[in-house]
A = this chain, B = another copy of it.
Amino acid sequence: MNPAERDRYQQVADDLRRRVEAGEFKVGERLPAIPAIAESYGIARNTAHEAVRTLAQWGVVVSKSGSGTYVRARPGVRQLIRCYDRLRGEGGPIANGLETAARRQGMRSYSSQSIYAPMEVRVRLGLGDPDLEDRPDVMETEYLHQLNDEPTMIVRSWEVLTITRGTPIALPEEGPYAGRGVMERMAGIGMAVDSTSEVVGARAASSEECVKLQMPPGAPVLTIRRTFWVGGQPVETADYVIPADQVELAYSWRIGQAPEDRDTAV
């Protein structure tokens, strides 16, 4: 037998999703309360709770403690355009397949400190032996971005201090380029970022992240490890943690005729 249909709470969760998608419960509306669900399906309250929790993990609904569980808006997904091929004209990927990006972030709080880079960051930044004078070698900054008073992502960035030390941009959020973004600030001291690499993954949010991002436990997050390069040399790297709820990452690029391209394209 199909193991997915063996468990009651899965059956109920699947059925509730079907009913939501069939339009029986509109976006923003409240689902029946857990005790009501339990009775109508002939299951225990606990099992009904498990079903609703599953629905919430799927992103179909959000549960507000003390209030109820509400059908979530599906089309509210923001696309973050990460990389795109500007050579395309009208009718290209952007115009046809990808919507406009929400470029403006909302507020962001931050805190910076110069530290001795941890091992993983050393590798990513290509830092060799420690500073001879044993000084901190990176500026670490943690941001909490918010949009409409709701947290949208956590960013931790590390900038190479041997590059920025003593310049006006040493502190990311002070000086003439305060809050301008890494590329613009680097450009301010003559470092033109010419290359980007990103590694994208996903996992369930840690309990700490659930608190900071106001997410239910177990909800998935997208993770990005991004590095900026100047002439083959990494100058900054950052970790993004983004609730997978409402965000998608858009990439678009041109393809050459090298055989490697055909190999990698699954």
Contacts and interface: CB of A to CB of B under 8 A. Distances in A.
Interface of A: 2-4, 10, 13-14, 54, 57-59, 77, 79-86, 88-89, 91-93, 96-98, 101, 103, 105, 124, 126, 155, 181-184, 187, 192-204, 206-208, 210-211, 217-222, 227-229, 232, 234, 244, 247-258, 260-266
Number of copies: 2
A77 B194 CA distance: 28
The main secondary structure of chain A at its interface with chain B is mixed
Nearest first, the 7 A-B pairs at minimum CB distance are: A202-B202, A220-B220, A202-B244, A93-B197, A197-B252, A57-B204, A200-B249
A200 B54 contact: no
B183 A250 contact: no
Given A54-B217, A96-B234, A197-B250, 19 more contacts: A4-B207, A4-B208, A10-B207, A83-B251, A86-B258, A88-B195, A181-B262, A181-B263, A181-B265, A192-B257, A194-B255, A196-B252, A199-B248, A199-B249, A201-B222, A203-B220, A204-B219, A218-B218, A220-B220
Contacts of A155: 266
B204 A249 contact: no
Contacts of A83: 83, 251, 253
Contacts of A196: 252-253, 255, 265
A97 B59 contact: no
Contacts of A77: 201
Contact of A183 (B4, B54, B261): B261
